[in-house]
A and B are shown apart, each in its own frame.
Chain A
Amino acid sequence: MAAITVRQAISDALREEMERDENVFILGEEVGVWGGTYAVTRGFHDQFGDKRIKDTPIAEAAIIGAAIGAALTGLRPIAEMMTINFAFSAFDHIVNEAPKLHYMFGGQFRVPMVIRAVGGGGRQLGATHSQTPDVIFAHFPGLKVVAPATPADSKGLLKTAIRSDDPVLFIEHSTLYQWRGEVPDGEHLVEIGVSKVQRPGKHVTLVTYSKMLQLSMEAADQLAKEGIEVEIVDLRSLRPLDMGPVLESFKKTNRCVIVEEGWRSFGVGAEVAARLYEEAFDYIDAPIKRVAQKEVPLPYNRELEQMALPQVKDIIAAVKEVL
């Protein structure tokens, strides 16, 4: 086992899959000569050349649309949205084409493609460039939405996504790339749609994913000092959503806090809470709490932006409220 960064893990997954299968190729803005604006594909252009590392014009709809078409012919494109905020410019193709084709044509078509997109706030990029709109995409059946946090999950889930015969939106977080963690040596695959307990505990179930896992871990460390043991379930995939480990944990703790970076309304917290009411009503001992982004477009000013984003102290406060 080696401790590597999320950036390295994602880069390794891409390289390994490209070396394994020559039908895998990458297209996107600045993925080649520049090396990826987050340096994930640095060196790829030299290794794989123009044919397999395709710098595109600024044309999100064409990037996703062309990836869909190429996928229909049996290729396995990895289409990169420089950030998830630009995925809105390709929204039709992401939610209205890719996820529909297999079903609508009675199973004739397959769209084996991955859309990589980085999201998240906290870098003072202003309202249009800082969003965490993951749930919007998770609304659409036919699209798989994966949003891992740790290096191991990032690598394993991306490799599985590339091998998936369905379209997968793979969401990265711009402030997680430097996060270090152990990644198993050799072939490492993680199943899509399987949640995971990232930290065992017995008092409160904390459900989260992506960047908020990092903050939740920190909150759990602090709470542990006060004798409060939080069990953290990392969803890792939003669609399909695996409630198994959440329910198992909740039946033990009877208390739940859901932490997400995106806006509260219609969010991951709303979905998970609703499912707990539906599937574990008899186990509820306290109101289920949500920690999420304040319902404002993210401002540029650093202090205001941090006020709007969920903080460790918010998570701690929410946990204490349900105890």
Chain B
Amino acid sequence: MKKEDYLDLYRQMVLIRRVEEQAAILYQEGKVGGFLHLYIGQEAVSTGLVAARLPQDRFITAYRDHGLALNVGLTANQVLAELLGKATGMSKGKGGSMHMASVEHNFWGGHAIVGAHLPIAAGLALGDQYAGRDGVTVCMFGDGATNIGYFHEAVNLSKVWKLPVLWVCENNQYGMGTTIDRASAVSEIRQKAEGYLIPNSRVDGMDVLAVKDAAAEALAYVRAGNGPYFLEAITYRFQGHSMGDPERYRKPEEIKKWQENDPIGIFRKAITAGKKATAKELDAIDAAVIEEVAAAVKFAEESPNPAPEALFTDIYVEAA
């Protein structure tokens, strides 16, 4: 990896963090409505995965999607505008926090029904297999999502049809307030792949370089026509499930322990210790991101609401 690559990954993670901090403030001000699921703490997972992708690789995820949206190249302007329901959001203000997508960036969405996007991911992969393209579909989902039937149907199908999918479970220890041991028959989520004879592994989801390397290897395996691969990234969300979560199900000490493992802090240390860049250079990125995000908040606030007519557009595809 070149110096610029280190700086770029660092910048992406800091950008996600700052955008989401602003999103939380905007939510508290009543400007963001609905649910707001923050990705804070999990930034290394999507950042590492996207760093390993080729442009033809598709991404799809659940509702905790702001991080991935920024990684694939959507701007802070677009993300914050969507959160404010503005016409300048990538989903024109109709989707909100849980429904970000960009076909241009091969990002097939945030999806809000738990597990429902896994069969869709199988279909995306089928499309590429059918057409003889070498793209891999990277499908991200939570630990909780592996308990719903959709997961098992999709994962099984991917093996039976040898679909080019990389299944990535973001194991952040909880599905809302439910720990894995209270909801899953197996304690390591990757074990579920065993039942479908899909090769699998675990990676430290707080270490962006480890995620990137694991993803690169897995993508190469899938791209070579071997069928699906299953990667489990161990991570943690520092914030509540959504805004307003009373968090009665976990102790502050536990959160604190994980926060000492901050993916941004870890990467920063790795960069400076490995002399890939100086602390000063990283500080400069920090400052630039703060400015960028402040400008994006302004952009989003000043952006227009969708026109009233927008209520009735995009229901069906317009006849050419």
Bitwise interface map of B from 67 to 88 toward A, beta carbon under 8 Å scored 1, else 0 = 0000000000000000001100
Contact A86 B113 (CB under 8 A): yes
Name which residue of chain A comes closest to B112, CB basis: A128
A299 with B34: CB separation less than 8 A: no
A304 to B311, CA, bound (A): 6
- Tell me which of A33, A88, A125, A302 contacts B177 (CB under 8 A): A33
Query: With A124-B96, A299-B94 in contact, do A35 and B248 touch (Cβ < 8 Å)?
Result: yes
Considering the chains assembled together, what is the distance between the CA atoms of A86 and B149 in angstroms?
Answer: 13
**CB-based contact A59/B147 at 8 Å:** yes
A138 to chain B, nearest CB (A): 22
Chain A residue at smallest Cβ distance from B83: A300
Contact between A125 and B115 (Cβ–Cβ < 8 Å)? Answer: no
Q: How far is the CB of A7 from chain B (nearest CB, A)?
A: 15
| Contact A301 B113, beta carbon cutoff 8 Å | no
Q: Which residue of B lies closest to A39 (CB)?
A: B246
Question: Does chain A have a CB within 8 A of B310?
Answer: yes
User: A300 — nearest CB in chain B belongs to which residue?
Assistant: B96
Tell me the chain B residues, 112-151 only, with Cβ under 8 Å from chain A: 112-116, 144-145, 147-150
The answer, yes or no, to whether B199 is at the interface (CB within 8 Å) is no
Are B183 and A58 interface neighbours, CB within 8 A?
yes
B-side binding surface: helix, strand, loop or mixed?
loop
Partner of B248, one of A33, A56, A297, A307: A33
**Contact mask for chain A residues 100-128; partner B; CB cutoff 8 A; 1 contact, 0 none:** 00000000000000000000000111111
**Cα–Cα distance between A303 and B93 once the two chains are bound (Å):** 10
Which of B94, B115, B149, B246 counts the most chain A CB atoms within 10 A? B94
Q: In the complex, are the beta carbons of A300 and B114 less than 8 A apart?
A: no
Q: What residues on B are CB-neighbors of A59 within 8 Å?
A: 147-149
Q: With A and B bound together, what is the CA distance between A308 and B113 in angstroms?
A: 22
| Most chain A beta carbons < 10 A, residue from B95, B96, B249 | B96
B192-242 CB contacts (< 8 Å) to partner A: none
Question: Are A123 and B176 in contact (CB-based, < 8 A)?
Answer: no
- Establish whether residues B177 and A34, one from each chain, have CB atoms under 8 Å apart when the complex forms: yes
**B311 pairs with A296, CB closer than 8 A:** yes
Are B177 and A304 in contact, CB atoms less than 8 angstroms apart? Answer: no
Q: Does any Cβ of A come within 8 Å of B184's Cβ?
A: yes
The yes or no answer to A294 lying at the interface (CB within 8 A) is yes
> Would A124 and B308 be within 8 Å (CB), given that A57-B184, A301-B85 are in contact?
no
Q: Are B306 and A301 in contact (CB under 8 A)?
A: yes
CB-CB nearest in chain B for A308: B311
Q: Are B178 and A300 in contact (CB under 8 A)?
A: no
Residue of A with least CB distance to B245: A34
Enumerate chain A interface residues (CB-CB to B < 8 A).
29-30, 33-35, 37, 55-62, 85-86, 88-89, 123-129, 294-297, 299-304, 307-308
Q: List 17 A-B pairs, Cβ < 8 Å.
A: A33-B178, A33-B248, A57-B178, A58-B145, A58-B147, A58-B175, A62-B149, A86-B114, A126-B34, A126-B112, A127-B99, A129-B35, A129-B98, A296-B312, A299-B94, A303-B305, A304-B93
Q: Which B residues fall within an 8 A CB radius of A?
A: 33-35, 85-86, 91, 93-96, 98-99, 112-116, 144-145, 147-150, 175-178, 182-184, 246, 248-249, 305-306, 308, 310-312, 315
Chain A to chain B: the 5 pairs with minimum beta-carbon distance, closest first = A124-B33, A300-B96, A57-B147, A301-B85, A124-B34
Given contact pairs A30-B177, A55-B178, A126-B99, enumerate 18 new A-B contacts (beta carbons under 8 Å).
A29-B176, A33-B177, A33-B178, A34-B176, A59-B149, A89-B115, A89-B148, A123-B33, A124-B33, A124-B85, A126-B34, A126-B95, A300-B85, A300-B91, A300-B93, A301-B305, A302-B85, A303-B305
